[in-house]
C-alpha cells in the first residue's frame, strides 16, 4: 500500500524548548543546527522521502523563524503551510487547529523533535489494515518515565496511555508520530489548550475508538534535552542515526567548508563544526556541537557539549556536558562540567570557574 499522495503531514513545532535553554531563547528547538541542517529539515526530508508532499507546520513560539527558513517548501520539494497559535494550544489543540488545512482522509502527526528511522508507510499500512481511528508509533526505551507509556494487547490495540508517570506499566512508549483519521481529529475540543497525551488519547480509549500501536526497533531519540541533542547530533554525523540529507557525508566529524581548523586539533565522536567557526591548534573536540561563528581557542577541550552561535572558548578551557549560550565568552582555563549552562553573552574571566585547584 504505502503512502498516498493525499496524506497530509502535521509537524508540531510550537513548544518553547525549555529543557534546551538557553539555546532555545534565540531559535525554536526544531530549528537548532543539527549535523549541518536545522533539526526539522532532517525530519521534513524523511517525510518527503516517504512520499508525503503536503506538510502543515503547527507553530507558536518563534513561529516566524520557520517560515523565514522554509518558505513555501518548494526548495525542498514540499508544499508547506503554516498554522500559527497566538496562544499555545498544546499538542492536541495544535493538531485540531490545522483541520481546515487538511486535504486527505487521514493525517500523519509528528512531534518536531524526534529523530528516528521508522517506516512511515508501514505505520500508515497498519492504520489501514486495523481500520483504526488512531495509530501510534511505539518504541521501547530503558527508562520510560519521561515519556508516554503505552501498553497494547495481543492484537496491537492500545489499552492505556499514561503520560510521564513515575511507575509506568510498560517500557513501550509513545514515539511521537500518529495517524489520525479526520473523524478522530474532529473529536478534539476547539478553542482551548488540549494535551493530546493527557486528554485526547485517554478519552479516545474510553469512547470505544479503535486506537492501535505500531511497534518497531529502529533508531529513535527525542532531541529535547542537551544530552539527547548531543547524542542525536553525533549519531547523525557518524551514520548511526538515519537522515536522507546526509547520504555519503558520514564520519567522525562534520566540518563546514568555511570553518578553520588549526594544526593538531582533534575532532572525533561525531563532532560538528558550523559555518565560519574557528578551531585553534591542539584543541580537542569529542562529540561537540559547535554552532556557526564560534571560536574554540588553542588547547581547549569540548566534550559532549553544545557551543552556541559566536561563542568564544578561551585557550585550554574545558567544557564537558555543558551548554554555552550564544555569544558567551569563556575565559582561558575555565572548567565547565556536568550540565553547566552559560547564558547568552555572559563573559567568564580567565580561570574564573574551576572544579579543581590544579593550575
Please give the residue ranges that form the binding site for ligand GDD (CB under 6 A): 12-15, 58, 60, 85, 88-91, 94, 111-114, 147-148, 163, 173-174, 176, 197, 222, 224
73 binds, among Mg ion, ligand GDD, none (CB under 5 to 8 A by kind): none
Query: Which residues are within 8 A (CB) of 114 and not within 5 positions of it... i.e. 6 or more apart?
Result: 43, 175, 176, 177, 220, 221, 222, 223
Q: Which is closer to ligand GDD, CB of 8 or CB of 329? A: 8
Nearer to Mg ion, 227 or 350 (CB): 227
Q: Which does 286 bind (CB under 5 to 8 A by kind): ligand GDD, Mg ion, none?
A: none
> Which secondary-structure segment (H or E) carries 45?
helix 39-49
Q: Which is nearer to Mg ion, 224 or 293 (CB)?
A: 224
Nearer to ligand GDD, 175 or 294 (CB): 175
By C-beta, is 56 or 324 nearer to ligand GDD? 56
14 binds, among ligand GDD, Mg ion, none (CB under 5 to 8 A by kind): ligand GDD
Query: What's the closest the beta carbon of residue 123 comes to Mg ion, in angstroms?
Result: 18
Residues 86-115, interacting with Mg ion (CB under 5 A):
113
Q: What's the CA gap between 40 and 29, in Å, rounded?
A: 9
Q: How far is the CB of 197 from Mg ion (least distance, A)?
A: 11
Residue 20 binds which of ligand GDD, Mg ion, none (CB < 5-8 A, kind-dependent)? none
Q: Which option in ligand GDD, Mg ion, none does residue 293 bind, with CB closer than 5 to 8 A by kind?
A: none
Distance CA(290)–CA(306), nearest Å, equals 6
Q: Which does 303 bind (CB under 5 to 8 A by kind): Mg ion, ligand GDD, none?
A: none
208 vs 229: CA distance, rounded Å: 38
Q: Would you say 44 and 78 are in contact if contact means Cβ atoms under 8 Å apart?
A: yes
**Length of the chain counted residue by residue:** 359
For residue 200, the partner it binds in ligand GDD, Mg ion, none, with Cβ less than 5 to 8 A by kind, is none
What is the smallest separation between the CB atom of 171 and ligand GDD, expressed in angstroms? 12
Least distance (Å) between residue 222 CB and Mg ion: 4
Number of residues lying near Mg ion (CB under 5 A): 3
CB 261 within 8 A of CB 267: yes
Compute the least distance from the CB of residue 116 to Mg ion, in Å.
12
Preceding omega of 22 cis (within 30 degrees of 0): yes
- Which 3 state secondary structure label does DSSP give 317? coil
Cβ–Cβ under 8 Å, residues 53 and 79: yes
Identify whether the C-beta of residue 219 lies closer than 8 Å to the C-beta of residue 115: yes
d(CA 160, CA 150): 6
Nearer to ligand GDD, 162 or 332 (CB): 162
Q: Quick one: cell of 35?
A: 549535523
Q: Is 169 helix (H, G, I), strand (E, B) or coil?
A: coil
By three-state DSSP, how is residue 91 classified?
helix
Binding mask 112-141 for Mg ion (x = CB under 5 A): -x----------------------------
In the region spanning residues 197 to 236, those forming contacts with Mg ion, defined by CB under 5 A, are 222, 224
315: three-class secondary structure by DSSP: coil
> Which lies closer to ligand GDD via its Cβ, residue 111 or residue 305?
111
8 binds Mg ion (CB under 5 A): no
The Cβ-side half-sphere exposure at 157, using a 13 Å CA radius, reads: 14
Nearer to ligand GDD, 132 or 200 (CB): 200
Residue 65 C-beta: closest distance to ligand GDD, Å:
12
Whole-number Cα distances in Å, 57 to 67, 81, 175, 327, 343? 9, 6, 19, 29, 29
Q: Which is nearer to ligand GDD, 73 or 224 (CB)?
A: 224
* Chain contacts with Mg ion (rule: CB under 5 A): 113, 222, 224
Amino acid at each position: 500500500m504505502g503512502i498516498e499522495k493525499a496524506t497530509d503531514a502535521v509537524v508540531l513545532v510550537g513548544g518553547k524548548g525549555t529543557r534546551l535553554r538557553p539555546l532555545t531563547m534565540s531559535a525554536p528547538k526544531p530549528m537548532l543546527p543539527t549535523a549541518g541542517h536545522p533539526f526539522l529539515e532532517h525530519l521534513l526530508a524523511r517525510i518527503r522521502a516517504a512520499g508525503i508532499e503536503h506538510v502543515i507546520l503547527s507553530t507558536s513560539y518563534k513561529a516566524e523563524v520557520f517560515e523565514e527558513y522554509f518558505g513555501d517548501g518548494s526548495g525542498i520539494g514540499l508544499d508547506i503551510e503554516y498554522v500559527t497559535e497566538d496562544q499555545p494550544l498544546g499538542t492536541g489543540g495544535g493538531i485540531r487547529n490545522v483541520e481546515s488545512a487538511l486535504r486527505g482522509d487521514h493525517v500523519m502527526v509528528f512531534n518536531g523533535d524526534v529523530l528516528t528511522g521508522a517506516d512511515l508507510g508501514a505505520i500508515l499500512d497498519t492504520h489501514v489494515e486495523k481500520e483504526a481511528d488512531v495509530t501510534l508509533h511505539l518504541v521501547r526505551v530503558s527508562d520510560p518515565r519521561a515519556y508516554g507509556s503505552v501498553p497494547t494487547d495481543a492484537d496491537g490495540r492500545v489499552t492505556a496511555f499514561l503520560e510521564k508517570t513515575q511507575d509506568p506499566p510498560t517500557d513501550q512508549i509513545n514515539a511521537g508520530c500518529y495517524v489520525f483519521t479526520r473523524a478522530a481529529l474532529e473529536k478534539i475540543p476547539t478553542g482551548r489548550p488540549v494535551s493530546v497525551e493527557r486528554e485526547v488519547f485517554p478519552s479516545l480509549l474510553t469512547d470505544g475508538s479503535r486506537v492501535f500501536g505500531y511497534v518497531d526497533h529502529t533508531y529513535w531519540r527525542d532531541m529535547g534535552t542537551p544530552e539527547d541533542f548531543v547524542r542525536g547530533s553525533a549519531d547523525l554525523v557518524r551514520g548511526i542515526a538515519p537522515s536522507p540529507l546526509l547520504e555519503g557525508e558520514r564520519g567522525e566529524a562534520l566540518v563546514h567548508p568555511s570553518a578553520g581548523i588549526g594544526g593538531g586539533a582533534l575532532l572525533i565522536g561525531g563532532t560538528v563544526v558550523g559555518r565560519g567557526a574557528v578551531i585553534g591548534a591542539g584543541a580537542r573536540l569529542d562529540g561537540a556541537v559547535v554552532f556557526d561563528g564560534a571560536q574554540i581557542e588553542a588547547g581547549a577541550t569540548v566534550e559532549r557539549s553544545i557551543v552556541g552561535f559566536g561563542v568564544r572558548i578561551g585557550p585550554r578551557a574545558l567544557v564537558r556536558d555543558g551548554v554555552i549560550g550564544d555569544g558567551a565568552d569563556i575565559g582561558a582555563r575555565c572548567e565547565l562540567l556536568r550540565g553547566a549552562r552559560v547564558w547568552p553573552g555572559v563573559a567568564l574571566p580567565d580561570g574564573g570557574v574551576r572544579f579543581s585547584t590544579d593550575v
